[in-house]
Chains A and B, each alone.
Chain A
C-alpha cells in the first residue's frame, strides 16, 4: 500500500458525460500527478500540482481539467467523454517538485474508467 488513495475504483458511464476522479496523496506529500494508461499503452503524464498550484502539463486534453485543494487532495475532471477515454487513471504523489534529487512518485491504485 503506497499510502495514496483514489476513488472510485471503477466508473462506468456513457459518452458525452462528465466524471470526477479523486485522489488523496501520501501524508506529507505536496505534489500530485495524474496519469492515463490505456489498454496496452504506457503511462501518459497528464498534469502535476504542487501545493495547490499547477506545475507541469503533459498530454492533457482540453476536455480534462484538474485542481488541488487546500487539504492537498486533487480531483481530475473529465467531460464530454468519448469511447477513447476508457482507461486506467492513476494518481501519484511525491514530497516536492524541484530537481536535484528527484522526488520518487508513489502511485495510487487507480480508477478504471469505462465509457460506453
Chain B
C-alpha cells in the first residue's frame, strides 16, 4: 500500500529554523509536494520536487531523496504567521498516465515568540 509519515506536531521559536520531515513508501512515485494549510483554510502550494536535491524558494526550501523515500521542508527565519499545518503529498502515476496525490496527515507547527 501507500504510506506517508510526518511528525504530528512541532514547535519552534520566532526567527529560528525548523525542518519538517516526510518519509514515504509508495509505488509509481512521480514527485512530492509540500502544502501549507492554516486552520480551516485551503492548502496552498509551497514546493514541488521530482529530482533528488534541494529546491530553494525564499525562506522555504524542500529536499528530496528518492532512494531513501525521504523529503524535508526547511523553514528559515520563522515568523508567527508560519504557524500552520504542513502537508507532504506524494504524486503517484497510474496506468493510463493519470496522477493521484496522496497526502500525509500533516505536521502542525506552532511558532512561539
Contact = CB atoms under 8 A, between A and B. Distances in A.
Given A42-B106, A48-B98, A109 B42 contact: yes
Interface of B: 30-31, 33, 35, 40-45, 48, 50, 87, 89, 91, 93-94, 97-106
Nearest to B97: A98
A83 B91 CA distance: 31
Contacts, number: 69
Interface string A1-41: 01010000000000000000000000000000100000001
B91 to A, nearest CB: 4
B53 to A, nearest CB: 17
Contacts of B98: 48, 50, 55-56, 97-99
A76 B53 CA distance: 38
A86 B2 CA distance: 25
5 contacts: A48-B98, A48-B100, A50-B98, A88-B40, A100-B97
In the complex, the 9 A-B pairs of residues with the closest C-beta atoms, listed nearest first:
A107-B42, A42-B105, A43-B103, A99-B93, A102-B91, A98-B97, A102-B31, A42-B103, A107-B43
